[in-house]
Amino acid sequence: HFATPTRQVPRFAKPGTPGEQYDVTLELKLLADVGLVGFPNVGKSSLISVVSAAKPAIANYHFTTLTPTLGVVRVAEEKSFVMADIPGLIEGASDGAGLGHQFLRHVERCRLLVHLVDISGSEGRDPYEDFRIINEELVRFNPKLAERPMLVVGNKIDLATDEQQEEFAAFCKDNGYEYFPMMAAIRVGADPLLERIAALLDTLPPIERFEPDPIPELNEEELKGNKFTVREEDGVYFVEGEWLIQVMRSINFSDYESLQYFERVLEQSGIIDALRAAGIQEKDTVNIYDVEFDFVN
């Protein structure tokens, strides 16, 4: 209620609605604009370290990064976005392999994915197979990720032959992906990628947020539409209606202003008129869900 000259501060409070008890499992999902995905040791941490102030652990072995790293990337004086370095994924990640579930859940909250691939095959892996496996694991974990925009970065071009670079660029083009060759460790090729990311983010909708359902408020203007029944039994008038259960739980019967509110509810909902129509007399007993009181005109 708004303050009035006669009621400048609230004088009573209605108790809350009945609580509910749940056993829940909470999972943290980082919220970032861009998620870097790919096999371990393809250069994700190197990239985020040279385009932001983030300082992830970087070393030449798998799973150097065990927790996602966030970094703010600035591409202009007044334009920036948040990038997440997602720890390396492996085949079977969607089934939990290599801590896959712990890593993949963070990808769900990213608006745009950047897939890094070691196109040189410096660790003896096939870059085309790497690309296929990671994309399949993303979709197996959450089919909606297939709809998420993705840019492809061919990293470690200094270790790749000209033929390897040309073939992978053609592969990306044939499959509808924008491709960016890069040497992430020394930032070569990073600027075109960042500019494209910023342009894409301007066109993408925000990630869906899940908000709690609001608790319905009791609107006195709508009380007349609520259904109830009145029956007389052994001189006691019983009033019942599903909506009345919430009302009775919200009334503090030891507080004067709370009682005044209760009287308004009975009057505006039509209960008083219904009791009179049922033949109630002064001092007769009214029972509303085990709360009894005398009827007074």
Beta strands in the chain (DSSP E): 32-37, 69-76, 79-85, 110-118, 150-155, 178-181, 229-233, 236-240, 285-288, 291-294
Q: Which domains does the chain have, with CATH numbers?
A: 32-201 (3.40.50.300), 220-294 (3.30.300.350)
pLDDT of residue 247: 85
pLDDT of residue 93: 43
pLDDT of residue 296: 87
pLDDT of residue 181: 96
Q: Using CA atoms, how far apart are residues 236 and 234, in angstroms rounded to an integer?
A: 6
Q: What is the mean pLDDT of each successive set of 10 residues along the chain, which is 297 residues long?
A: 72 67 74 88 90 75 64 88 79 46 73 94 90 90 89 95 96 96 93 95 81 59 72 93 85 84 89 93 93 89
pLDDT of residue 116: 95
pLDDT of residue 214: 64
Do 138 and 38 form a contact (C-beta atoms < 8 A)? no
Q: Please give the single-letter amino acid code of residue 77.
A: E
